[in-house]
Amino acid sequence: MKAFLILEDGTVFEGKSVGAQKEVISEIVFNTSMTGYLEVLTDPSYAGQAVTMTYPLIGNYGIAYDDMESRKGWPDGFITREISRLPSNFRCEDTLQKFLEDQDIPGIYGIDTRALTKILREKGTMNGMITTNENYNLDEILPKLKEYNVTGVVQKVSRSQKESFKPGDLGSEKTETSFKVAVIDVGTKNNIIRCLLNRGCEVDVYPCDFKAEDVIAAKPDGIMITNGPGDPAECVEIIEEIRKLSESGIPIFAICLGHQLMALAHGFKTYKMKYGHRGANHPVMDLHTRRVYISSQNHGYVVDGGSLDDTKAKPWFINVNDKTIEGLEYIGKPVKTVQFHPEANAGPKDSEVLFEEFIKMMGGNQ
């Protein structure tokens, strides 16, 4: 069946339909990873977006459900050049096509994803529609595309109630418990929890409508604030609760959206990037050691370096390519944050050492 991708600038790509047979309007973004399409599809940070994979052949190793990063698929749509019809992998349990159908995610393949990515890089991230309607009317569609905004996605992806995990859960190593960590779920990936469990942490995961008083009253040794989707400035109530957590004296480590929310809680600003950072090969530099890590990233917003107050925080990491802020250390507080994903799955493991940094913040490895 024919399918069409219509961008808000009027550009139309014709391809073939895959996955769910439905029409969606979404923000169109691109990811440069060569592997990890299942992790992309189950990353809550993609809620409200349709993902273009720049690598031309996707689906060649099929689907292994143990690799899912959350309970379901989150993107509004999936866009590829070619989808492998016959996956080959000893762990393969399903095809990508079947996964998209089961997860009610519409897809389009057979389009020139290189041309699409060039448009998004030159003009910036824009909204688009995936449809199988051959009689589409651009005059009716384009105003709808320009009106679309990604809203309410943190509440959509966060769990509804507190959950607890111990070492050995989620396929982690069974180790002796050393610390108790509260994880604030604003779109968490399973591997964030697993990385903590592997280091002997007992983990309590709180939904995004948490109250700081409840978290503090549980007396965790540390607090982790996770990745997530959408515009961080929209999360007004969450930001206020995070501000309270930052005043508690409990060590805090935050990732991606959590990094942005912590910055906003301290009066700094964020802004939407032209086309964001999404992929598994982004170089970031530790400003203390000058060491460069290759990182996995997925974000469309960034902390505005010009809004920083050096009496409150200082840059910890920067992006080697565009010099944007990739990490902050807060002055006089046991609080550190990074924009990239040290728990990357799939992706480089360079920066997973930052979980050891969090363990040290809680008093470990002494």
Q: What is the mean pLDDT of the chain?
A: 96
Q: Among residues 33, 57, 59, 56, which one has the least CA distance to residue 46? A: 33
Does residue 362 register a pLDDT over 80? Answer: yes
Q: Say what the pLDDT of residue 66 is.
A: 95
Cα-to-chain-centroid distance, residue 152: 15
The pLDDT of 251-268, averaged and rounded, is 98
Judge whether residue 185 has pLDDT over 90.
yes
For 102-114, what is each residue's pLDDT tens digit? 999 999 999 999 9
Report whether pLDDT(365) > 70. Answer: no
What pLDDT sits at residue 344? 87
Q: Is 55 annotated among the ligand-binding residues? A: no
* For residues 15-38, average pLDDT: 97
Mean pLDDT of 9-14: 97
At 358, the pLDDT band (50, 70, 90 cuts) reads very high
Per residue in 162-181, pLDDT (tens digit) is 999 999 999 999 998 899 99
Predicted structure pTM score: 0.96
What's the burial of 147, exposed, middle or buried (CB within 10 Å: 0-12/13-18/19+)? exposed
Which pLDDT score is estimated for 41? 98
- pLDDT at res. 348: 83
Q: Say if residue 64 is preceded by a cis peptide, omega within 30 of 0.
A: no
Annotated ligand binding at 296? The verdict is no
Q: Sorting pLDDT into bands at 50, 70 and 90, what band is 123? A: very high
Q: 300 among the known binding-site residues?
A: yes
- Per-residue pLDDT, averaged over 282-307, amounts to 97
260 is in an annotated binding site: yes
- 257 annotated binding-site participant: yes
- Helices 257-265 and 236-246 sit at what angle, rounded to 10 degrees? 80
Query: Model confidence over 40-66: pLDDT tens digits?
Result: 999 999 999 999 999 999 999 999 999
According to CATH, the topology of domain 155-361 is: Rossmann fold (3.40.50)
The residue count for the chain: 366
Q: Which residues contact 142 (CB under 8 A, 6 or more apart)?
A: 6, 8, 10
| Beta strand residue intervals within the chain, DSSP E | 2-7, 12-19, 24-31, 49-53, 57-58, 77-80, 82-83, 106-109, 126-131, 163-165, 167-170, 179-184, 201-206, 222-225, 252-255, 270-286, 292-303, 313-319, 325-330, 335-338
Tens of pLDDT, residue by residue over 55-101, are: 999 999 999 999 999 999 999 999 999 999 999 999 999 999 999 99
Q: Is 5 annotated as a binding residue?
A: no
Domain 2-150 has CATH 3.50.30.20: yes
pLDDT tens, 315-328? 999 999 999 999 99
Domain ranges of the chain: 2-150, 155-361
Give the pLDDT mean for 246-260. 98
| Catalytic residue set | 256, 341, 343
159 phi, psi to nearest 5 deg = -65, 160
Residue 116's nearest CA partner among 144, 80, 146, 74 is 80
**pLDDT for the residue numbered 148:** 95
Mean pLDDT, rounded, for 268-276: 97
Give the residue from 308, 304, 326 showing the smallest Cα distance to 317.
326
The band of 274, judged by pLDDT with boundaries at 50, 70 and 90, is: very high
Is 297 marked within a binding site? no
pLDDT on residue 366: 47
Q: What percent of the chain has pLDDT over 90?
A: 96
What is the 8-class DSSP label of residue 200? T
Q: Is residue 171 part of an annotated ligand binding site? A: no
Band of pLDDT at residue 349, cut at 50, 70 and 90: confident
Asked if residue 207 has pLDDT above 90, the reply is yes
Cβ burial of 94 (10 Å; 0-12, 13-18, 19+) is middle
Handedness of CA 289, 344, 55, 30 (dihedral sign): negative
pLDDT at residue 364 above 80?
no
